């Protein structure tokens, strides 16, 4: 019987010096493959807006879209902790609305936890969500939902002032009782300092090797998203060219009549001609 991981298991992994693995998934098929491979956490990220829905950013992603994909991914997860990403404007308007939306991820979509972006400025909302009994993961550094305010998709924390703000945000999020913090696109030295400073797990993406765990967008990691490839991504496979080649071969065989062949067809022991004559 497969043992379902819990939030406490993830926290204990840091204490035990065990690295934490996390990948994105947006449907049952991918989630099932990722889960079966032993990944510890599956994130249904609002990155689905770009890699699945064709948006130019994560901003247009709605609560209903997130809940739909969380439900789908949840059907494929047996072991991993399932985390749902709260989309833009689902937690910024008021604490009551933030709690309500976070609760929908748990109640309607079957998530084990939610994630939201922001540091010190969002901690009152974080405290309210956690107080409502909802496990929450923080996210600081490059926060895609507010990338325009940060000067675009750039490395954060490269000067003393911004580094101090990130250190303070990490402290404040820990004090607000998040169970883990995603560190995105910050210098490795800073992520190492944050990781040593806080008692909760840090999950890096473009933040160096010293974090307690790592997360990548699966479509980037397996080479399926070709619009751009972030410099911090290692492509463990290049599936997009293989998929296009396979589709081209299929198209060619359909056009020339070689597919389906005999072995792909069903035959029946009936005199069809006599049936037509009836």
Q: Give the active site residues.
A: 184
Neighbour count for residue 37 (Cβ, 10 Å)? 10
Q: Which two tokens stand for residue 16?
A: 């035990």
Per DSSP, the three-state class of 202 is strand
Interatomic CA distance for residues 66 and 272, integer angstroms: 50
Interatomic CA distance for residues 125 and 231, integer angstroms: 33
* Cis status of the peptide bond prior to 260, with omega within 30 of 0: yes
Residue with tokens 């009782």, as numbered in its chain: 177
Residues 198, 170 contacting (CB under 8 angstroms) = yes
Residues 135, 177 contacting (CB under 8 angstroms) = no
- Give the residue among 71, 74, 53 at the shortest CA–CA distance from 219: 53
Q: For the chain, how big is the Rg over CA atoms in Å?
A: 22
Q: Is 125 exposed, middle or buried (0-12, 13-18, 19+ CB in 10 A)?
A: buried
Interatomic CA distance for residues 108 and 83, integer angstroms: 13
Q: Which two tokens stand for residue 245?
A: 């080649």
Residue with tokens 């409502």, as numbered in its chain: 132
- Give the residue among 101, 88, 191 at the shortest CA–CA distance from 146: 88
């Amino acid at each position: 019987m497969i043992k379902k991981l819990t939030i406490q298991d993830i926290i204990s992994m840091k204490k035990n010096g065990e690295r934490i693995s996390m990948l994105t998934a947006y449907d049952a098929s991918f989630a099932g493959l990722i889960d079966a491979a032993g990944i510890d956490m599956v994130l249904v990220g609002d990155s689905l807006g770009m890699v699945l829905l064709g948006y130019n950013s994560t901003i247009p992603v709605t609560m209903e879209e997130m809940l739909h994909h969380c439900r789908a991914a949840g059907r494929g997860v047996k072991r991993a902790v399932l985390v749902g990403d709260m989309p833009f404007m689902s937690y910024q308007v008021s604490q009551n609305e933030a709690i309500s939306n976070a609760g929908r991820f748990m109640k309607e979509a079957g998530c084990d936890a939610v994630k939201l972006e922001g540091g010190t400025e969002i901690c009152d909302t974080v405290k309210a969500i956690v107080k409502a009994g909802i496990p929450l993961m923080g996210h600081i550094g490059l926060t895609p939902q507010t990338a325009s305010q940060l000067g675009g998709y750039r490395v954060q924390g490269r000067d003393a002032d911004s580094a101090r703000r990130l250190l303070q945000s990490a402290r404040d999020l820990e004090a607000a009782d998040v169970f883990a913090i995603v560190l995105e696109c910050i210098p490795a030295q800073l992520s190492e300092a944050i990781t040593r400073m806080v008692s909760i797990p840090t999950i890096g993406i473009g933040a160096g090797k010293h974090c307690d765990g790592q997360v990548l967008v699966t479509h980037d990691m397996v080479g399926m998203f070709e619009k751009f490839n972030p410099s911090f991504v290692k492509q463990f496979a290049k599936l997009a060219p293989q998929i296009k080649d396979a589709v081209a071969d299929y198209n060619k065989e359909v056009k020339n009549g070689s597919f389906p062949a005999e072995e792909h067809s069903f035959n029946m022991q009936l005199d069809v001609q006599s049936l037509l004559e009836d």
